């Protein structure tokens, strides 16, 4: 079942697609639903995507298609013919749609340090994020340089408590310190691997490790 706001957004997207074949921008959706920030729109879109009502078309920031509509919107809950966004010249693609996600502080890509310490916000291009809830952490250290993750980068993290073998994750150790590493299992232990030959893998009892998210993207500042 969809919330009233989710239904309102789904109807707005469907109407805009039917009218012009182009999905609305985050700013247009924010104004239509009378929300204060684009982050609220991002959460609604992620919820609709997770429930299978809409789908994002790859490599295009504003390209959405409606996959199905619920009974509550006056139609049978069956697949509808997707209306794809018309091809847009590269210079007109709204890749600058931006949302704000929480910036929780610094995370070690070396020796674990405390994470989730701050409550600031970071503006992020919507095209960098997929479905789900996200937050950002500033990277401290050099143990992930061979994975292209440098000191001072902003790691964009999708919240999850489950990790697959080989994913780069935020791992909370002993509910006190967090680190950014490759997640692996070795026998009965959890192994957190760096991406720097100067560092050694870290081994933990599974009860010591709590997954707080997986790497979804990266933003780098150039001074």
List, by residue number, the catalytic residues: 143, 181
Q: What is the dihedral of CA 134, 136, 141, 143, to 10 degrees?
A: 20
- Which segments within the chain are labelled E, that is strand? 54-56, 64-66, 98-108, 120-125, 134-140, 154-158, 168-173, 177-186, 189-193, 202-204, 209-219
Residue pair 214/167 in contact by the 8 Å Cβ criterion? yes
Task: Report the C-alpha gap between 26 and 94 in whole angstroms.
Answer: 10
Residue 207: Cβ-neighbour burial (10 angstroms; 0-12, 13-18, 19+): exposed
């Amino acid at each position: 079942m969809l919330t009233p706001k989710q239904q309102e957004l789904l109807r707005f997207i469907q109407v805009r697609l039917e009218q012009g074949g182009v999905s609305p921008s985050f700013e247009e959706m924010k104004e239509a639903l009378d929300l204060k920030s684009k982050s609220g729109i991002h959460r609604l879109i992620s919820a609709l995507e997770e429930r299978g009502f809409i789908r994002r078309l790859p490599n295009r920031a504003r390209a959405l298609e409606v996959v199905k509509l619920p009974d509550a919107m006056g139609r049978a809950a069956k697949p509808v013919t997707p209306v794809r966004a018309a091809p847009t010249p590269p210079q007109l693609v709204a890749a600058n749609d931006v949302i704000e996600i929480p910036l929780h502080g610094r995370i070690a890509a070396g020796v674990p340090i405390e994470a989730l310490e701050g409550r600031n916000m970071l503006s992020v291009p919507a095209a960098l994020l997929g479905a789900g809830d996200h937050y950002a952490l500033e990277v401290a250290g050099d143990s992930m340089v061979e994975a292209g993750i440098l000191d001072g980068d902003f790691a964009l993290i999708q919240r999850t408590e489950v990790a697959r073998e080989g994913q780069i994750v935020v791992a909370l150790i002993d509910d006190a310190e967090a680190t950014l590493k490759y997640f692996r299992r070795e026998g009965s232990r959890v192994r957190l691997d760096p991406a720097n030959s100067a560092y050694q893998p870290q081994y933990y009892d599974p009860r010591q490790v709590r997954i707080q998210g997986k790497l979804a993207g990266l933003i780098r500042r150039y001074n």
